[in-house]
Amino acid sequence: MRTDDERLIETLFRQYFKKLTLLVYVKVKKWDVSEEIVQDTFHEALIHIDVLRAHPNQAGWLVNTTKYKILEYERRRKQMLQRFLEIGDIADLAAPKDEIEQVIDRTDHTVENLLETALKPEERYLLKRFVFDQVTHREIAEELHISVSASQKRLERIRKKLQGHYKE
């Protein structure tokens, strides 16, 4: 990365980090999550530095990217919650009884059994803390005495492991 690109990112970060964090906080209501989403925004800015440098409204680019990051966070969160609730709990609310029975017949394991067989206890713990307790990677990292990136990588590995077992 060129030094002028580094200065651009640093200037934008100093100027907009707090404002963007407040924007995110209004939607997600958690400071740590808000900060992580804004950090993701600046990570995206680093990846697309050429686009950002040439953009006529750099602040607008950051705001739009942050809004997409919020949507991505909410979408992933909903997906994870739906995946890890008992199939019966979801199906009772969403489908007629005969459809529920068809889904259950096609399902060899409940989600709980799947998690029990597919994941190690420490992986289940990390997944539970992240999905149900809504803790951030920073909180998990402090709790487990690991780095934030190690927490992110562990969750990524858990997701990949579960994808092999749980296609949807």
- In tens, the pLDDT along 105-163 reads 444 445 566 667 778 888 888 888 887 777 888 888 898 899 988 888 888 888 888 77
Taking residues 8-37, what's their average pLDDT? 93
Tell me whether residue 37 is exposed, middle or buried, using C-beta atoms within 10 angstroms of its C-beta: 0 to 12, 13 to 18, 19 or more: buried
Give which of 64, 19, 14, 62 is closest to 42, Cα–Cα: 62
Q: How far apart are CA 144 and CA 26, in angstroms?
A: 29
- Our count of domains for the chain comes to 2
DSSP one-letter code for 108: S
3-state secondary structure 65-94: HHHHHHHHHHHHHHHHHHHHCCHHHHHHHH
Give which of 11, 112, 24, 118 is closest to 66, Cα–Cα: 24
76 and 123 in a single domain? The answer is: no
Q: Is residue 105 part of a domain?
A: no
Q: Is residue 89 part of a domain?
A: no
Q: Is residue 167 part of a domain?
A: yes
Q: Report pLDDT for 62.
A: 96
Taking residues 10-15, what's their average pLDDT? 95
27 and 75 in a single domain? The answer is: yes
pTM of the model: 0.58
SS3 call for 145: coil
Measured between its terminal Cα atoms, the distance across the chain in Å is 39
Judge whether residue 94 has pLDDT over 50: no
135 and 66 in a single domain? The answer is: no
13 and 63 in a single domain? The answer is: yes
Domain that holds residue 45: 3-80
69 and 129 in a single domain? The answer is: no
Q: Is residue 161 part of a domain?
A: yes
> What are the Cα distances from residue 166, in Å, to 33, 66, 84, 144?
27, 30, 10, 27
